[in-house]
Structure 1
Amino acid sequence: MKIISALGKHRLKHEIDYDILRYVDDYIVFSHNNDNSELIADTISDILSTYNLNISDSKKIKYKRPFLTEKSKAIIGTKLLLDDLEKTLFTKTTHKGKRQLTPNDIYNPEKLCQSFINKVKSIIADNNKGYSEVSSYIISVLCTRALDVLSSYKPNTKQTPEEELTLREAILIIFRLVFFFYSVNPSVPSSNKIAKTLITTDQFIKTKKAHHLEFFRTEIMSHVNKLKFHRQKNDTRNGFISLERLNIILATSEFGSNYLLQPSIFSYLEKDEVNITYFDIVALTYYFKNYPIYSTAKDILIKIAIGRLNENFNLQQESEQAHIFLDLICCPYITADLRIELIKKYLASYEPDEVFTDDIVSAFATELLNNFWFVKWKNLDLIKLLERKELKPVY
């Protein structure tokens, strides 16, 4: 109000001669001419200074109609690059009103990928922006194109071996680019998109082109293994595997024992359990399954989970405890003895006047394997989980 009052003395009427919007610590001024804009900016600065607040002149940015920010320019330029890439990778046709993408033969895939990356670098450099401005957009478009390719496949049309290789290469080119732009700017939405596309593509190849499955999974794991899982100085979770990386890991969980990540990646579990969340516990338990290679890491993880349950055991008031408890008693990847121990703990706390024999408790433990609470341990549909946005750190 003080700003509006001060500007009124200069015969400037709010919402007629100018308008001011505020977004966090930024002020956005709209006016009819540059002189008024300068006056308004100076007035805002003067009023703020009375509260010991200052506006940095170096951060002032002027835009004129038509409004087009550097980010908008970067996105527009990137879209043109993606359109050109699509024309190079695919031949577009229409079948029954639906767009069909047929992969083209690419002579040098590595050169194509590097050329695209270099062109993106040039665009963001010209607009004084970083990868964060365009990476999520690129990943979203490329993942959509990958799914478009799969939906364009005609199951009743026999492909030659050469056509199958061309299809495989087109898909892998997309994933090479996707993983590059993800690696330079990881985010949860991007990881969800990648995970869903990975799972869908893997299922497609497994059912339609099974003889290419080993090559595809090996190629994907070469990219996953390059992601930075270890402690980083700027990691807000102090080096623990972040949510977006957990989503990527889970997307490869059905690849099988020949495509597992190195156990050393999970060495952080034994260093400090403070930042281990409920999601870490269930996600990694699902990923570890009963693979011997992860026995040490899983033992540490389950120990952390049990430790959480032993802290003032109260399932009625402690949400994290309730989630951990209910998921673990139905989990096929922990021992029957431990599940029985957890059930006895519950009965002692909430059914103290009832008598349950060991046989009855064992029967409970066996029956619970056929049920689930928050995590469907058997036949888990990861795509549905991703679509429902359940892969997020609630706790």
Structure 2
Amino acid sequence: MKEIIISPPKASYYEERVKKLFAIAGITVNGSKDCDIQVNDQRFYKRVLVSSSLGLGESYMDGWWDCYSLDEFFSKVLEYRLDQYTHADISSWFAVLQSKILNFQGLKKAYRNASFHYDLGNDLFRKMLDKRLTYTCGYWKQASTLDEAQEAKLELTCQKLHLKPGMRILDIGCGWGSFAKYAAEKFDVIVTGINVSKEQLALGKVLCRDLPVELKFQDYREIEDQFDRVVSLGMFEHVGLKNYKTYFKAVNSRLKSDGIFLLHTIGSDVSTKENDPWISKYIFPNSLIPSIAQITDAADGQFIMEDLHNFGLDYDKTLMAWSENFSKNWPSLEKKYGERFYKMWQYYLLSCAGSFRARKNQLWQIVFTKGLKQGYMAIR
């Protein structure tokens, strides 16, 4: 029998496929529009087809391609779902398999996951965020600056919780204490914040000094005591699917019978068991964006959902403001973090902005109770 030899595809094959793929979304390789990409290395074409999202991000960090407007590029890529036309490599499939078997957000791993991102350096976040250091989506309904949007979000959150003087509040994933500080100052409440980032807590304790605020190095599975209100802003994305029910049970056990729980989280339109591989590797290890179905399944039998508010487009504006601040202040950060970090961080901020612009991701504030006899009055 004559031996059949199958030759690997030529480089031109990968280039042709990628160019046709981007054309679906109106993106031209080496074109002149802001959303067009400029290819600097011919190896880019094969890498993005073979390794999909991970290959796209890593090749950008390696300088193999560039784009004037990454946010608009990603808005188009995600709007037209171009990821469906590429194939993840074997390492990506292995990561999916592991997520189904292992718990990457177990108690010990949760501390390591948080340290990877949130302990990068307070100098970085102080240069990027608003004056209150609020690392979650702002509320831009009547705001024109990042500071105004973040303060409006904190006010909106407090109003939805129906805070009253003297109440005891639990803030799960308190960051640098922006919510705790705002609520204590404006609503005369007592706040306990828990966090698994040492760097955030160190600065947060300084910012919240002389206030009825206690910030503790603690995981949500280690909470004790009872609270009138529970709030969690931008932390649920780190809980992990295998721990959703445990999370809601923990909140339920610590919330008084007439209490209110507000969950603020990025949301996905589809239920998945793994996050984007590039984001997981370089930005938020072992994170997962939940769907409404996954949230309601975990809350089943624990809470009544009283209100759901989606202001996901506001995250686009927030991320663009963070990107602008980061770029503006980069000269003071460059020596410590280096050029590759700059490309990685801008890729993170602008790709996420594009995902919200394309409406792939949402931002939900969900209010839960155990069943208030007087009902719940929604706030906007």
Higher strand share: 2
Question: What TM-score does the superposition give when structure 1 sets the normalisation length?
Answer: 0.26
- Relative contact order (C-alpha < 8 Å, sep 6+): which is higher? 2
Q: Quick check: which one's helix share is greater? A: 1
